[in-house]
Amino acid sequence: MPAGLLILLYLFAALLPLGLAWAQGLEPRSIADELASGAGILALAVILAEFLLLGRYRFVARRVGTDIVMRMHQLLARGAAILAVVHPFLYTTRRAPAPDWDVNRQFFVMNDFAAIWPGMIAWLLLPALVLMAIGRNALGYRYETWRLMHGLGAALIAGFGVLHTLRAGRYSADPAMGYVWLALLGIALFALAYVYVFTPLAQLRRPWTVTSVDPVAERTWEVTLRPARDFAFRYRAGQFAWLNIRNTPFGPHENPFSISSAPSAGPEVSFIIKELGDFTRTIGSIQPGTRAYLDGPHGHLTVADHKAPGIALIAGGVGIAPMMGILRELHAKGDTRPTALIYGNRSEAQIACGDELESLTREHGTRLTHVLCEPPASMACKLGLITPEILRDHFGNAEHRAWLYVLCGPPAMMEAVEEALIALGVPSSNILSERFSYD
């Protein structure tokens, strides 16, 4: 689905309740009161639309990119939280149980406790949820714990928010608007169930078995899985999948990892994983034969759809994982386009699949440049970080502007490389990247 159409659909969903409220033709109250009601309506609509921006629905993420969808999810939730938090303070009209003659709540703002308490719970939970998401790393939660709390919290906020607006809202008293709220809530909860119930159910029918766990660099492993039953997993080199090893597919025990294998190599799928968190620190202890589940493929970090005359792969650290998949696939397919790989690491010990990279790039004719902060004396490489000068040395000619650039690595590296490439005249449409950390 094109990005422009997605944005229009999003705006339609977010603005529909406000438009319906307007269309009711009720006599407007004071500007402050209308602003208060409007802010509450808009905030709730955005919150419900957030459930479609989870990055797990391919019809949403395919064209825009999973990471961009996730980033919009983060940003839009913050705006909705601000609107939701301020909206009760904007009312100026008397708060009291509305008398029978005030049918349209023209003169009184509902203050019945039965109508207010769901809103108070949602009002407390929403900013807490947003702050916990922003400070997730600093707060030190286990990823699985945070995910569970985030999903449950979001479902509670949506449910209590809709209950509040149905009981207290001046405009939501209209039956048509009430049905719209219930429909939006239904869609939101279905979206959540799609990730936590329907996808795991499908995964049960497509189990995987770990066939090997090999060390490929310092604290870095390549995990290979094969289908435990007869099914095909179709993906493109460079994509990623949510990997769940040892646990039931029902639950928060899955993490996104880039696929490092080539689709044309067969049914086995590999991931290069660095020990960085709670789950990844246990990777080395996983035994062959362990049951695993995959949700995927996801992501757009793939060269398969691009006809660029050359391909540049620029990786930092474990960002080499999708590049290995792309290189392996290009070589297996006999792709004749010129290629270059710039691979940054702190030390030689962190270079993943070093020997294979040497032979693969030599056989495929790929220009390989290692960039190390702490290089050994004997190694031919660039010193330090992947700088604009290194990029100019490699891609400074006019013909390189039409190449496709694939970036994967630490956010700071990707931003610096992207800006340097744009400064060299490369259009941003020729730069592919995926990042999952912005704050």
Partner 1 sequence: MTRWLSHLPLRRRIALAYAGLNAVGLLALIAFALRGLV
Residues of this chain that bind partner 1 (CB under 8 A): 7, 10-11, 14-15, 18, 21-22, 27-29, 31, 34-35, 38-39, 42, 46, 68, 71-72, 75-76, 79, 83, 415, 418-419, 422, 427-429, 431, 433, 438
| Smallest separation, CB 73 to partner 1 (Å) | 11
Cα(400)–Cα(406) distance, rounded to whole angstroms?
Answer: 13
Output 80 or 217, the one with its CB closest to partner 1. Answer: 80
| Smallest separation, CB 65 to partner 1 (Å) | 9
Nearest to 165 by CA among 79, 86, 88: 88
Output 229 or 307, the one with its CB closest to partner 1. Answer: 307
| Smallest separation, CB 430 to partner 1 (Å) | 9
Cα(104)–Cα(116) distance, rounded to whole angstroms?
Answer: 18
| Smallest separation, CB 20 to partner 1 (Å) | 11
| Smallest separation, CB 37 to partner 1 (Å) | 8
Output 71 or 364, the one with its CB closest to partner 1. Answer: 71
Cα(326)–Cα(236) distance, rounded to whole angstroms?
Answer: 8
Which residues have C-beta within 8 Å of that of residue 371, sequence separation ≥ 6? 342, 343, 344, 345, 381, 382, 383, 384, 385, 386, 390
- Burial class, 13, CB count within 10 angstroms (exposed 0-12 / middle 13-18 / buried 19+): middle
Output 131 or 422, the one with its CB closest to partner 1. Answer: 422
Taking CA atoms, 139 is separated from 75, 149, 153, 412, in Å, by: 19, 13, 17, 22
Residue ranges of the alpha helices (H) in 305-403?
320-333, 354-364, 388-395
**Joined tokens for residue 416:** 């610096």
| Smallest separation, CB 258 to partner 1 (Å) | 18
| Smallest separation, CB 129 to partner 1 (Å) | 19
| Smallest separation, CB 323 to partner 1 (Å) | 18
DSSP sequence for 378-426: T---EESS--HHHHHHHH-SGGGGGSEEEEES-HHHHHHHHHHHHHTT-
- Burial class, 138, CB count within 10 angstroms (exposed 0-12 / middle 13-18 / buried 19+): exposed
Backbone angles phi, psi at 199, to 5 degrees: -65, -45
58 membership: H or E segment, kind and range: helix 58-64
**Joined tokens for residue 57:** 């629905």
Output 156 or 416, the one with its CB closest to partner 1. Answer: 416
Output 267 or 411, the one with its CB closest to partner 1. Answer: 411
| Smallest separation, CB 261 to partner 1 (Å) | 27
| Smallest separation, CB 438 to partner 1 (Å) | 8
Output 33 or 254, the one with its CB closest to partner 1. Answer: 33
The neighbouring-strand residues paired with 382 are: 371
Output 225 or 431, the one with its CB closest to partner 1. Answer: 431
Q: Side by side, which strands form the sheet with 269-274?
A: 255-258, 240-245, 291-298, 208-217, 220-227, 269-274
Output 129 or 431, the one with its CB closest to partner 1. Answer: 431
Residue 1 contacts residue 59 (beta carbons within 8 Å): yes
